[in-house]
Structure 1
Amino acid sequence: MSYLALARRYRPDDFSGILSQKHITRTLANAISSGRISHAYLFCGSRGTGKTTTARVMAKSLNCEKGPTPTPCGECINCREIKAGISPDVFEIDAASNRGIDDIRQLRENVRYSPASSRYKIYIIDEVHRLTNEAFDALLKTLEEPPPHVIFIFATTEPQSLPATILSRTQRFDFKRVPISALAETVNDIAAKEGLEIDPRAALMVARKADGSLRDALSLLDQLINFSQGMITTESASEILGLVKTDFLFKIIKAVVKHDTPAVLEMFNVYFDEGVDIDGLADELSIFLGKLLLVKNGVRETSILEMDISELEKAELLVSEIDTSDILRMLQIMADFTVDKKSGVDPVVAMEVALVRLSGLDKAVDIDELLSNLSNPVNMTRALSGHSVSKVVKATKSTSAEEGRSMDVGKKSGQAPFTRSQSTAIEHKLDNIANWWSNFLSFVKSKSLAVWSHLQYAKVSYNGSNLVDLGFPLGNEFHMKFLTGRRSFIIDCLKEFSGANPGVSFTRLENENNDLTDIPNIPKQSIEEFLNQHPKMKKLHDLIDGDDIRFRGNMQ
């Protein structure tokens, strides 16, 4: 007898054997028990989640000689024929190759005839979304009012591609991706049944690679059995599956945390010389950083993290040396790698740039921790060394912009910080509002970051009738709509800043497109002045006898 693949040999024979789809199997079993059987079902879900298997179990349950029953006997002639795929009353149709109107016309002719030897004539149409529009139209009437002995079961990975007229005539069931933990457990069980030893971490690697598909997991296990000859180790699994070893990920991130750029690049070169995929490395690094982010924020469920206990302990030790903001900036750098690669940069160069940026990333320090350390003069130099001051203002430009800049706390620069009292002390005339508009924007930012973020897209003008007009080029209607509901707030800010009490109007500039170069830029000095007003920064000034913050790097 020829060899039968694991995915076929271990296909479930009843509802209890279908993995991780309890919400579906329970519903179908209850429907069969109570006799509330629909004439048409739609099974949706990604590949390998059990759609066709459930359809076959449903067919056996309905046509079993001891049924209809949710637990088919598996021994009667009908059950055996359905399992073997030779039942004259159960038709499995591949819609990808039988998708035309002529195929559906033939089906319509056949449904009129009674079953040959079973209770129901069941049509299982796989990948039903591949049918043509004409075929769907020909099927509608039959699907709406089929003969009492006919049941349709549709399976698809793309339910959004089906016509609404089909969806409305079926009972829909959405199959979930099989969890990693359930896949790993199943792989372990089947390996044991096959008389094989498998490292638990190797089973976990198979489950990750399968990406929620039980069929894919068993197909990969078949490959590993042929490769390993009796004992499946993590090394053999990593080699045959083309996965990045978890130990490698721990080592390279540990070197990144230590700012050991030469070691990071050497590890990458060794990895690249083995001929593995750079995109795969980027994906695995991003996924691994995401897991570290969860661990840093208190997640300890191994099923969620897709780690075993030993890996979790190593992850806890690793994240103890870094802050959440560090991990977020690392993730942003990996996102930048994808952008660089798509823009035409050589993937190897793009990855090397990303790794250099990762290993050169300064650690963030909480401003409260910094203030606590600076209270003790002995710790002052240690506290400032190798850190970027973070969490002074929650709403920063972006994590990628943060990586390119650091804040230097310096001595008195001779420039007094911008304060609200000074702004009201100076008369700001409305007829030259364009000259002091950027300062007004920074004043608004100190009151409301939300309003400021939308107001900077406006083009300001004064019409001489105590009315300030805010114009918005095409494409900025969202900003205009947001600010219209906050007109009174803008008027109050103008009154407090300039001493005048103008009205505010909003205009759509029909003849102008959204040109980002016209958006007014907030001067570096204004942002520095805004930060200097933060209470914690004032405390920091007092501790180090300084009174201003200066940015080094690109402010845009």
Structure 2
Amino acid sequence: MTDAGAPPNSDSAGQAGFSLGAQPGTPYRVLARKYRPSSFDDLIGQEAVVRTVSNAFETGRIPQAWILTGVRGVGKTTTARILARALNYEMPDGSVKGPTVHMPTLGVHCQAIMESRHMDVLEMDAASHTGVDDVRQINDSVRYAPASARYKVYIIDEVHMLSTAAFNAFLKTLEEPPEHAKFVFATTEIRKVPVTVLSRCQRFDLRRVEADVLMKHLANIAAKENVEIEPEALGIIARAAEGSVRDSLSLLDQAIAHAAGTVKADAIRQMLGLADRTRVIDLFDSLARGDIAAAFKEFRDQYDVGADPIVVLSDLAEFVNFVTRVKIVPATADNVAYGETERVRARDFASKISMRVLSRMWQMLLKGITEVQAATRPAAAAEMVLVRIAYVADMPTPDEALRMLEQNGGGS
């Protein structure tokens, strides 16, 4: 990964995110900006997008408009800038004659494009420019040839925020733009974009990044920053980010500052208000055995050290889901994003607990989390949820109860 905003051949060591020897007065750059991808090789978890774009560039089948969609922090705006850079990639010696995805070094226009200051690559935030007048300005300017680059590229972020009139004003330009103009749209709400616009664009769905991929990415960045971090801590951050690279880097930034040294899993849990995963598993074990007294004690111990009742129940639901997935697909337990203890005990629970019990625990936890969120005393509400789960954990389902009655008569 390279710093998208760093000048060519610059030494980024002085910009280290955690360095006690940093030069005084050096402006700090957060990790999410410092390690922002500047080429397709730097994008992680988006292999399908990279392969499609690469094939399109190599065969000359470049569309006039792209629309990028996905959850926050997966690289929509970054990919749009990389596309603009690839479309306009030129070397000072003139060796590159057309668009290319192979950009080993910074070209003539690359630095300005990645810093959003190139006059031929225009970025617009549709959240603050929603009206038809803003689109009319684009329609007027698109007719003119680029000043210095190969293509005029219009990047419109959060395009779903445009008004209906603004979308309609875009249609003709999108359908028949000049040969020198390209459009790249980014949105988190693809369903709010009119189908008339979607039909004129090539759509790419940027997927959430898998937790194990995020862990490797975070480990590489931690090594570059000279920060020691436990593998379990990396797993906690990767899962908490829910597939968002930007969220994971923001959490890593916060964790480095919180730990002020070696980043340990316990420090991450304390920072995020999470309960110890081992203690969550112990709580699950008590509920599965129907031991409400042990479950109460474990929950209170976690609550007393600062764990949020809602977070405890959410972690418990996550572990129920993990055990269920291990029961259905045993290979799920090989995911390194989960700790060794979690994987070993999940296999053990999956072999002992029936699917009906797991399903019932999941349903009760989902309903219970909603109740705790609305309760004036969350801890007490959470305890009542645990009581319900423990008392019905080993109870038969209605169809099993009827079958037992039929087999044993009234004695059951």
Q: TM-score range by the shorter chain?
A: 0.7 to 0.9
Match among 288, 298, 302 for residue 257 of structure 1: 288
The separation in 1 between residues aligned to 2:68 and 2:42, in whole angstroms, is 17
How far did residue 100 of structure 1 move?
1.1
The separation in 1 between residues aligned to 2:155 and 2:269, in whole angstroms, is 38
Q: CA 1:269–1:158 in 2, change beyond 3 Å: closer, same or farther?
A: same
Where do 1:212-231 residues align within 5 Å? 212-231=243-262
Q: CA 1:309–1:266 in 2, change beyond 3 Å: closer, same or farther?
A: closer
Residue in structure 1 matched with residue 48 of structure 2 by the alignment: 23
Name the structure with the higher strand share.
Answer: 1
Asked whether 1:290 is paired with 2:321, we answer yes
The separation in 2 between residues aligned to 1:39 and 1:295, in whole angstroms, is 45
Asked whether 1:86 is paired with 2:117, we answer yes
Query: Which structure has the larger Rg over C-alpha atoms?
Result: 1
Higher relative contact order (CA 8 A, sep 6+): 2
Q: CA 1:307–1:61 in 2, change beyond 3 Å: closer, same or farther?
A: same
The separation in 2 between residues aligned to 1:308 and 1:341, in whole angstroms, is 28
The separation in 2 between residues aligned to 1:129 and 1:74, in whole angstroms, is 34
How far did residue 351 of structure 1 move?
1.3
How far did residue 238 of structure 1 move?
0.7
Match among 548, 551, 556 for residue 410 of structure 2: 548
SS of the residue 2:155 aligns to: strand
The separation in 2 between residues aligned to 1:233 and 1:50, in whole angstroms, is 28
Q: Would the aligned equivalents of 1:257 and 1:321 in 2 still touch at CA under 8 Å?
A: no
Residue type matched to 1:189 in 2? N
Residue in structure 1 matched with residue 12 of structure 2 by the alignment: none
Asked whether 1:39 is paired with 2:39, we answer no
The separation in 2 between residues aligned to 1:160 and 1:61, in whole angstroms, is 28
SS of the residue 1:77 aligns to: coil
Where do 1:446-461 residues align within 5 Å? none
Q: How many residues align?
A: 381
Q: Would the aligned equivalents of 1:184 and 1:203 in 2 still touch at CA under 8 Å?
A: yes
The separation in 2 between residues aligned to 1:145 and 1:268, in whole angstroms, is 63
Residue in structure 1 matched with residue 197 of structure 2 by the alignment: 166
Residue in structure 2 matched with residue 316 of structure 1 by the alignment: 347
Match among 349, 355, 362 for residue 386 of structure 2: 355
How far did residue 303 of structure 1 move?
5.9
Residue in structure 1 matched with residue 36 of structure 2 by the alignment: 11
Residue in structure 2 matched with residue 246 of structure 1 by the alignment: 277
Q: Would the aligned equivalents of 1:302 and 1:309 in 2 still touch at CA under 8 Å?
A: no
How far did residue 142 of structure 1 move?
1.2
Where do 1:406-417 residues align within 5 Å? none
The separation in 2 between residues aligned to 1:131 and 1:271, in whole angstroms, is 47
Residue type matched to 2:126 in 1? A
How far did residue 276 of structure 1 move?
3.6
Residue in structure 2 matched with residue 200 of structure 1 by the alignment: 231
How far did residue 64 of structure 1 move?
0.9
Asked whether 1:299 is paired with 2:330, we answer yes
Name the % identity: 38
How far did residue 119 of structure 1 move?
0.2
The superposition leaves residues 248-271 of structure 1 with CA deviations (integer Å, 9 ceiling, x where unpaired) of 111111222343322211222232
The superposition leaves residues 191-216 of structure 1 with CA deviations (integer Å, 9 ceiling, x where unpaired) of 11111111111001100111110011
Residue in structure 1 matched with residue 266 of structure 2 by the alignment: 235
SS of the residue 2:105 aligns to: coil
Q: CA 1:108–1:197 in 2, change beyond 3 Å: closer, same or farther?
A: same
Residue in structure 2 matched with residue 337 of structure 1 by the alignment: 368
How far did residue 275 of structure 1 move?
4.1
> What is the RMSD computed on CA atoms of the aligned residues?
2.3
Q: CA 1:359–1:36 in 2, change beyond 3 Å: closer, same or farther?
A: same
Residue in structure 2 matched with residue 525 of structure 1 by the alignment: none
Q: CA 1:26–1:288 in 2, change beyond 3 Å: closer, same or farther?
A: same
Q: Would the aligned equivalents of 2:154 and 2:182 in 1 still touch at CA under 8 Å?
A: yes
Q: Would the aligned equivalents of 1:140 and 1:165 in 2 still touch at CA under 8 Å?
A: yes
Structure 1 window deviating more from structure 2 (214-223 vs 244-253): it is 244-253
Q: Would the aligned equivalents of 1:111 and 1:150 in 2 still touch at CA under 8 Å?
A: yes
Structure 1 window deviating more from structure 2 (257-266 vs 123-132): it is 257-266
Q: Would the aligned equivalents of 1:74 and 1:80 in 2 still touch at CA under 8 Å?
A: no
Match among 209, 213, 222 for residue 182 of structure 1: 213
Q: Would the aligned equivalents of 1:337 and 1:354 in 2 still touch at CA under 8 Å?
A: yes
Asked whether 1:155 is paired with 2:186, we answer yes
Residue type matched to 2:236 in 1? M
Where do 1:43-62 residues align within 5 Å? 43-62=68-87
How far did residue 229 of structure 1 move?
1.7
The separation in 2 between residues aligned to 1:294 and 1:354, in whole angstroms, is 23
The superposition leaves residues 486-533 of structure 1 with CA deviations (integer Å, 9 ceiling, x where unpaired) of xxxxxxxxxxxxxxxxxxxxxxxxxxxxxxxxxxxxxxxxxx6x8655
SS of the residue 2:258 aligns to: helix
How far did residue 335 of structure 1 move?
3.0
The separation in 2 between residues aligned to 1:11 and 1:272, in whole angstroms, is 38
How far did residue 341 of structure 1 move?
4.5
Structure 1, gaps ≥5 residues long? 364-387, 391-395, 408-527, 542-546, 551-556
